[in-house]
Amino acid sequence: MNDLPAPAADELAHSAELAVLIHREIAAAGGSIPFSQFMERCLYAPGLGYYSAGRRKFGAGGDFVTAPEISPLFGRCLAKSCAAVLESLGGGDILEFGAGSGQLAIDLLTELESMNCLPARYLVLERSADLKARQQQAIARQLPQLLDRVSWIDELPATGFRGVMLANEVLDAMSVERFQWDGESAELFHVRSEADGFAWQLQTGKVSEATTSIDAWVSDSDLCAGYVSEFNTSVQPWLRSVADSLAQGLVLLIDYGYPQHEYFHPQRSSGTLMCHYRHYAHADPLLWPGLQDITAHVDFTAVAEAAVAADLEVAGYTTQAWFLLDCGLEECLLQSGATDTTDYMKAAQQAKTLILPGEMGERFKCIGLTRGIDIPVPGFRLQDQRERL
Ligand SMILES: C[S@@+](CC[C@H](N)C(=O)[O-])C[C@H]1O[C@@H](n2cnc3c(N)ncnc32)[C@H](O)[C@@H]1O
pLDDT per residue, tens digit, the chain (389 aa), is 558 899 999 999 999 999 999 999 999 999 999 999 999 999 999 999 999 886 777 777 777 889 999 999 999 999 999 999 999 999 999 999 999 999 999 999 999 999 999 999 999 999 998 899 999 999 999 999 999 999 999 999 999 999 999 999 999 999 999 999 988 889 999 999 999 899 999 998 888 888 888 887 777 777 889 999 999 999 999 999 999 999 999 999 999 999 998 998 888 999 999 999 988 999 999 999 999 999 999 999 999 999 999 999 999 999 999 999 999 999 999 887 777 888 889 999 999 999 999 999 999 999 999 999 989 999 999 999 999 99
- Substitution candidate for ligand 1 out of 64, 104, 127 with most atoms within 8 A of CB: 127
Q: In b/e form, how buried is each residue of 5-40, taking b as 16+ CB within 10 angstroms? A: eebeeebeebbeebbebbbeebeeeeebbbbbbbbb
- CB under 6 Å to ligand 1: residues? 51, 58, 66, 68-69, 97-100, 104, 125-128, 131, 168-170, 173-174
Name the residue with the closest Cα to ligand 1, atom 26.
98
Total-model pTM: 0.95
Ligand 1 atom nearest to CA at 52: 25
Question: Residue 349, class by beta-carbon neighbours within 10 Å (0-12 exposed, 13-18 middle, 19+ buried)?
Answer: exposed
